[in-house]
Chain A
Amino acid sequence: MKNKEQPPLSGIRVLDIGREIAGPFCARLLARLGADVIKIEAPGRGDPIRGRGPFQPSAAKGESGPMHLYLNEGKRGITIDLASVSGRELFLKLVEKSHVVIENFEPRVMDKLNLAGEVLRERQASIIVTSISNFGNTGPYRDYQASELTMFSMGGHLYRSGQLGRPPIRMGGAPAEFLAALSAAYGTMLAIRSAEESGIGQNVDFSILESQVTSHAQAMVEVSYYGTEVAAGNPRGETLRGVDTKDGMAMVSAQEQQMARLAALIGAPEELGRPNPLDPGSSKQALDEYLSRWAADRTKREVYEAGQGVHVPASFAANAADLIESPQYQHRGFLQEIDHPEAGTVTVPGLPFQWENAWAPTRPAPCLGEHNIEVYSSLLDISREELTQLSGAGVI
């Protein structure tokens, strides 16, 4: 029986031929849980995400971009030209030794490479192919191009964002791709479970657009329940109910039953804490004016702590520095340091869950082709001579 100190996915091998964000992040989640993830990149060029800076001046080209260091931490890295005959064969030999392939090419690419799931399963019946695409692998938009901005636009959140007269404004970070990666990791886990029971692999086809549509709190229920004619949706210009503090934005989301405590905290007249049931908006507005004055003399963190001190949902707009210094994150060990040979010491987020203890990072993001010799000789028994030949031919 397995030792409980061992990570939950030890023994699972994943071939990550993903690029940019969604595929690599899905694979990274599995790496963090102990899977042996081999990141496969095109020789010479590598994953385009390596081109996203800012870069460390002293580091080799393509090795120090923050997004790359974040997404590919915990993996070994090799190169293969999948479009070449011998490169494709090398990949198929690796498939024979693996459980999962993760890819996020445009839907037609895997077919074009003659590497569709059905083809891979002729070599390894239990192989799982997780494909994350923008619009899914069927339907009229199948081959359309997309980016984080355009996916977030199509997903139905932007129509109510920003101010009237200005363009709608997207959410920061890459929510469409990260949410897709998390859900695709769940689908991949289901398929692993199924394959471990039955010996049969399968394709997990994931659509980022559909994942966006499932991320609405209520809008998609409204269209069915009210009818498309009636469901009007929220107007634009509805911003967060934020308050300015001495050093940034905070927010106090008091609900009716919390308004009395909030009024007492910010020195507002007692009656403002008892909203008039006939006109709850008016007392809320008056309370907001007291809140603005009160918050203006305080730091964002003071507003957060004071609100939470009286059990009112309060928060502040944390930036990267605030998060690294967060006592809560430090206590839980969520952000972890790891040394990278080119970039130096890097702080990366771990997994947002733990049991007994958090998993430590195992290795930094690989340099391009860093583990070619290690992987090809130990997994495929390829000699150094052959490797030199393959390298000369541009296959690896």
Chain B
Amino acid sequence: MANRLPLEGIRILDMGQFWAAPNAGRAWADAGAEVIKVESCRRPDPLRIQARKIYPDNDPGGEHGDHWNRSGMVNERNRSKLSLALDLSHPKGRDLFIELAKQSDAVSQNYSLGVMDRLGIGWDVLHKANPKLVMVSIMSQGLTGPESSYVSYGQNLEQLGGISYTSGYPDDEKSSVGFALPDPIGGATAAFALIAALRHREETGEGLHIDLSQREAATLIIGDAIVEYSLTGQVPPRIGNHEPGSNPSECYPCEGEDEWIAISISNDAEWLRLCEAMERVNLGSDNRFATIVGRMRNRDAVDELIGEWTARFEKMELFKLLQSHHITAGAITNPRELFQDPHLRERGFWEQVEDYSCGTQEYYGRPMHLSENPYGTRTPTPKLGQHNYEILGGLLSLSNSEIDQLTNEGVIGTEPILTAEGGMARRAS
């Protein structure tokens, strides 16, 4: 039984587009589920055809001119899946989708509110077709409530969920940077929620519809601020790089242009170790700085002392030096440095994938290892419609000529059909 992947035998129709939902789909696919990415040639995943395209060597071309299969944003987060390109606005496409739903365990989607219903494949229809089906709707603000139809991008949800208010320099509200983290947070939440729901379904025999709010998921990151406000009636202040219970806690300059290291000292013994590392043991006996309260009061002086010292070092050398003194520190790294980082390389974090239209690329792997399950990328991201025949023939027992016919009618296909406006994109996720 060991080495059997945890989700083997589970089939999921993944209608996710952009980021959050496809990320969840990949988490299930890597764990052994048969995940079918369902797009249509009229409305493929927008990251295939518009918005921030990243091509190998910045060249959309490729051997076969299939630029829609060369988008890095799509190829990164749709690994291990199968692809079916099915026009859901066509009555035949809709009927085929319902037939597939009858043979599936779950459907995942992040269209705007009401789109699934308008396509005739809303929860009521799918539940009736397959009472054991689990559906997860990854919505901006959930399926219910006065703001459920509002549109947003990741940065909007960062604001609405309460993260932005707590981010940035204490003296400058506008300084918060959008990291769009509500997307990976929403994806991770969906991945978790679906497995819990599948367990529930297996125990009760009844399907269910998960109503997920990415805004609410973002609020989890600052949940203690909610609790604090409910107890004190005070909105917690913006604290910048300061960490509760630590001082100093700041980013300090390093050798080179705009290079930095973060240092966070959480107790007085650690402060003494820092003084030692700086070869300034006399500072350790300086009463102004001996306690966290003192260092807080003399924060500018402390920061200046440390900054003058750190500026003499290359950041990674300093990172290792401080760690050798058991001091909490982290270099401010950029993506290039992470890609080459010896620790991540030694752990085999990057996965080499032989892509169908992009040659060999390296993508980030999984942040966790399961000791009994070889969990990770199983196959490259499929090309648009790559498995049309396999899925419709295999699961729905259509003959090749029937599938040819569907291709001729434009119900399925392997190339995007672009409208004059250049596609769809109602909301980003």
Contacts and interface: CB of A to CB of B under 8 A. Distances in A.
Interface stretch (A37-45, A81-89, A188-196, A379-387): A188-196
Interface of B is mostly: mixed
A327 B145 contact: yes
A17 interface: no
Given A190-B6, A190-B31, A233 B145 contact: no
Contact of B195 (A156, A193, A200, A220): A193
Interface string B326-340: 111111111111111
B147 to A, nearest CB: 4
B335 A353 contact: no
A312 B211 contact: no
Contacts of B200: 2, 4, 8
A297 B174 CA distance: 18
Contact of A352 (B154, B189, B252): B189
Contact of A66 (B164, B174, B231): B231
Contacts of B146: 327-328, 331
Given A331-B145, A347-B230, A1 B213 contact: no
Contact of A223 (B185, B196, B212, B335): B335
Interface in A195-253: 197-200, 202-211, 213-228, 230-231, 233, 236, 238-240, 242, 244, 248-251, 253
A226 B358 CA distance: 12
Interface string B212-231: 11111101111111111111
A334 B216 contact: yes
A64 B231 contact: yes
Contacts of B343: 135, 139-141, 209
Contact of B328 (A52, A147, A331): A147
Contacts of B427: 313
A354 interface: yes
B361 A224 contact: yes
A324 interface: yes
Interface residues of B, number: 159
A378 interface: no
Contact of A221 (B54, B190, B337): B54
A190 B370 contact: yes
A187 B368 contact: yes
A346 B231 contact: yes
Contacts of B246: 147, 149
Contacts of B162: 318-320, 322-323
Interface stretch (B34-42, B98-106, B202-210, B400-408): B202-210
Given A185-B192, A320-B236, A218 B368 contact: no
Contacts of B136: 353
A11 to B, nearest CB: 9
B285 interface: no
Given A139-B343, A317-B165, A323 B219 contact: yes
Interface stretch (B87-95, B176-184, B383-391): B176-184
Interface stretch (A107-115, A170-178, A263-271, A369-377): A170-178
Contacts of A255: 425
Contacts, number: 503
Nearest to B161: A318
Interface stretch (B274-282, B294-302, B371-379, B409-417): B371-379
A200 B232 contact: no
B144 A317 contact: no
Nearest to B245: A52
A69 B227 contact: yes
Given A149-B264, A318-B160, A194 B6 contact: yes
A295 interface: no
Contacts of B397: none
A242 to B, nearest CB: 5
B346 A214 contact: no
B55 interface: yes
B356 interface: no
B210 to A, nearest CB: 5
Contacts of B76: 220-221
A321 interface: yes
B140 to A, nearest CB: 9
Residue from B183, B349, B427 with most neighbouring chain A CB atoms (10 Å)? B349
Given A1-B204, A228-B336, A332-B216, A314 B156 contact: yes
Given A182-B185, A214-B366, 14 more contacts: A2-B200, A147-B249, A178-B221, A183-B367, A186-B195, A191-B372, A194-B4, A194-B373, A218-B52, A222-B54, A225-B54, A230-B58, A318-B161, A323-B161
List the 6 shortest-distance A-B pairs measured between CB atoms, nearest first. A172-B166, A150-B330, A198-B1, A347-B230, A352-B216, A315-B156
